[in-house]
């Protein structure tokens, strides 16, 4: 039997795939991928062909013996996989556009991890991911599930809580983006920066930050109070923290914290932007069309630079370094979403957290944090509560539970608005929420 790794990517037709392929090419020496299976559904067949052929050209150009398989047969793709990565989007960008547009009518943010957008993306995604887990139990019980699909924290929580797959890691490019941002801020190479991360997906804080092992947090906080320096991730522009707030918070924030500490400004900004240029999904839809046009070019055999505007900066970096460290038992430290197990006090042990971990062949082992600073303990728990109850609603299809999840979300202005949004969004996403409409014929993603 040929030695080497089998990687299966669910949602392989995604515009992100060339990122991932580029990563596998770059790191082939450490991570000898033998087979890459790109899987998609019927509706994504055309994109799968386009992006899959680009992937083949990239690998051919690199002169590497990686086989690329394109398929709509998920079970065939999963069989004996070593790593399963998920980057699918139930309902495609069209569903995301609804996640954004509908809440705005009620003056509420519809971002895809936060608030109603995140709730409904979770409700659509979790049943599919649990189905994949069932297949994995049967077809590749020793594989690692590396989940990129948002809301990544809620999805990881659901897998830990409702599936038998324990080898699951949720991955996000926000922490690596924060490292890159800090590196740029301090004008040092990324490799010299280390951050102690703790929190949840899209709600992660940097407890301390080091250059060459020496803490530089005080210096960074000082620089961060300068409103021109707070933008780390291109598609969530920083608005500039109040110096008094960030000094006393004394933590590194992630871009998504703007939604919680600048709620009013963010929603106003998003509504304005949606009017002027369309919502993020609508913008991305356009971008993607252009990208796929580029991908079609039979002479293209590299990741086109335009992909970087798509928003997944460092995505390939994060994915490949995680898979490589598991495969090689490297023992380096990376921030991932994994079971808490006591790393963060006051978050339940069985819940998913995003935290700096040692990455070994046995998966991520969290470094102990103790407790989060008192100022953020409540907010982090509140988002965790939202994630847990949303995951429960996704599994049970219980209407009241969905209303509860949205009502306790700190971005929701009232229980009544929560109920109204749930009503309208359930209707809008009906096709992808069979668990809420049990009498109708279920339509699965």
By annotation, the residues acting in catalysis are: 256
In what helix (H) or strand (E) does residue 199 lie, and over which residues does it extend? strand 193-200
DSSP state of 79: T
Measured distance CA(29)–CA(27) in Å, rounded: 5
CA distance 119 to 418: 11
Cα dist from 353 to 286, 317, 344, whole Å = 34, 21, 8
Single out the residue of 39, 152, 379, 395 in contact with a copy of itself (rule: CB under 8 A).
379
Q: Out of 46, 60, 218, 400, name the contact with a copy of itself by CB under 8 A.
A: 400
Residue 150 counted as an annotated binding residue: yes
Q: What secondary structure, in 3-state letters, does 181-240 show? A: HHHHHHCCCHHHEEEEEEEECCEEEEEEEEECCEECHHHHHHHHCCHHHCCCCCCCCCCC
Query: With respect to a copy of itself, which residue has the nearer C-beta, 134 or 272?
Result: 272
Q: Which of 244, 305, 438, 441 binds a copy of itself (CB under 8 A)?
A: 244
280 is in an annotated binding site: no
CB of 145 to a copy of itself, least distance (A): 19
Evaluate whether 395 touches 101 at the Cβ level (below 8 Å).
no
Least CB distance to a copy of itself at residue 340 (A)? 8
Q: Which of 138, 413, 430, 443 binds a copy of itself (CB under 8 A)?
A: 413
- Report yes or no: 165 and 147 within 8 Å, Cβ to Cβ: no
Q: Residue 141 interacts with a copy of itself (CB under 8 A)?
A: no
Q: How far is the CB of 421 from a copy of itself (least distance, A)?
A: 12
Question: Based on CB atoms, which residue is closest to a copy of itself, 235 or 248?
Answer: 248
Of 69-77, 149-157, 302-310, 400-408: span binding a copy of itself (CB under 8 A)? 400-408
Q: Does 71 bind a copy of itself (CB under 8 A)?
A: no
272 sits near a copy of itself (criterion: CB under 8 A): no
Binding a copy of itself by CB under 8 A: which of 184, 419, 431, 437? 419
Under a CB-based contact definition with an 8 Å cutoff, are residues 385 and 408 in contact?
yes
Q: 3-state class of 45 per DSSP?
A: helix
Distance CA 261, CA 274 (A): 21
Residue 167 as a binder of a copy of itself (CB under 8 A): the answer is no
DSSP annotation of 220: H
Q: List, in sequence order, every residue forming a beta bridge with 195; answer none if it has no partner.
A: 209
Among 134, 219, 414, 430, binds a copy of itself (CB under 8 A): 414
* Residue 436: cis peptide before it, omega within 30 degrees of 0: no
Q: Which two tokens stand for residue 154?
A: 């809620």
C-beta of 50 vs 355, nearer to a copy of itself: 355
Q: What backbone phi and psi angles, to 5 degrees, belong to 111?
A: -75, 155
Q: Helix 399-408 vs helix 415-428: angle between axes, to the nearest 10 degrees?
A: 130
Q: How far is the CB of 416 from a copy of itself (least distance, A)?
A: 6
State yes or no: 96 annotated in a binding site: yes
Residue 190: which of 179, 203, 174 has the closest Cα? 179
**Contacts of a copy of itself in 299-318 (CB under 8 A):** none
Instruction: For residue 358, state whether it binds a copy of itself (rule: CB under 8 A).
Output: yes
Contact between 428 and 96 under an 8 Å Cβ cutoff? The reply is no
Residues 183-242 that bind a copy of itself (CB under 8 A): 194, 208, 210, 212-215, 241-242
435 counts as binding a copy of itself under rule CB under 8 A: no
Question: Least distance to a copy of itself from the beta carbon of 107, Å?
Answer: 8
Binding residues for Mn(2+): 172, 202
Binding residues for substrate: 96, 150
């Amino acid at each position: 039997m040929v030695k080497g790794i089998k990687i299966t990517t669910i949602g392989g037709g995604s515009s992100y795939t060339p990122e991932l392929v580029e990563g596998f090419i770059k790191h082939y020496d450490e991570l000898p991928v033998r087979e890459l299976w790109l899987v998609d559904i019927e509706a994504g067949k055309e994109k799968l062909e386009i992006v899959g052929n680009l992937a083949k050209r990239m690998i051919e150009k690199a002169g590497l013996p990686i086989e690329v398989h394109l398929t709509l047969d998920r079970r065939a793709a999963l069989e004996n996989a070593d790593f399963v990565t998920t980057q699918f989007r139930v309902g495609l960008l069209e569903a995301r556009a609804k996640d954004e547009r509908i809440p705005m009518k009620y003056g509420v943010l519809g971002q895809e991890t936060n608030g109603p957008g995140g709730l409904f993306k979770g409700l659509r995604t979790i049943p599919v991911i649990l189905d994949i887990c069932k297949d994995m139990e049967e077809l590749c019980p020793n594989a690692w599930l590396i989940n990129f699909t948002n809301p990544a924290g809620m999805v990881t929580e659901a897998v830990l809580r409702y599936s038998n797959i324990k080898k699951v890691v949720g991955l996000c490019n926000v922490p690596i983006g924060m490292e890159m941002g800090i590196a740029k801020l301090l004008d040092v190479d990324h490799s010299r920066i280390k951050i102690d991360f703790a929190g949840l997906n899209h709600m992660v804080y940097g407890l301390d930050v080091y250059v060459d092992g020496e803490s530089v947090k005080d210096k960074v906080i000082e620089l961060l109070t300068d409103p021109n320096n707070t933008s780390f991730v291109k598609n969530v522009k920083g608005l500039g923290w109040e110096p008094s707030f960030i000094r006393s918070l004394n933590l590194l924030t992630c871009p998504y914290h703007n939604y919680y500490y600048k709620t009013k400004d963010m929603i106003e900004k998003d509504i304005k932007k949606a009017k002027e240029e369309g919502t993020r999904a609508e913008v991305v839809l356009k971008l993607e069309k252009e990208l796929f046009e580029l991908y079609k070019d039979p002479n293209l055999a590299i990741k086109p630079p335009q992909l970087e505007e798509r928003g997944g900066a460092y995505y390939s970096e994060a994915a490949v370094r995680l898979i490589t460290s598991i495969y090689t038992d490297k023992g380096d430290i990376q921030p991932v979403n994994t079971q808490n197990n006591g790393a963060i006090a006051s978050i339940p042990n069985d819940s998913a957290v995003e935290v700096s971990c040692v990455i070994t062949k046995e998966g991520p082992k969290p470094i102990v944090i103790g407790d989060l600073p008192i100022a953020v303990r409540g907010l982090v728990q509140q988002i965790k509560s939202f994630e847990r109850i949303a995951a429960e609603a996704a599994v049970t299809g219980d209407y009241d539970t969905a209303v509860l999840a949205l009502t306790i979300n700190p971005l929701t202005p009232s229980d009544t608005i929560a109920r109204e949004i749930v009503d309208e969004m359930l209707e809008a996403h009906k096709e992808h929420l069979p668990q809420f409409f049990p009498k109708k014929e279920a339509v699965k993603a």
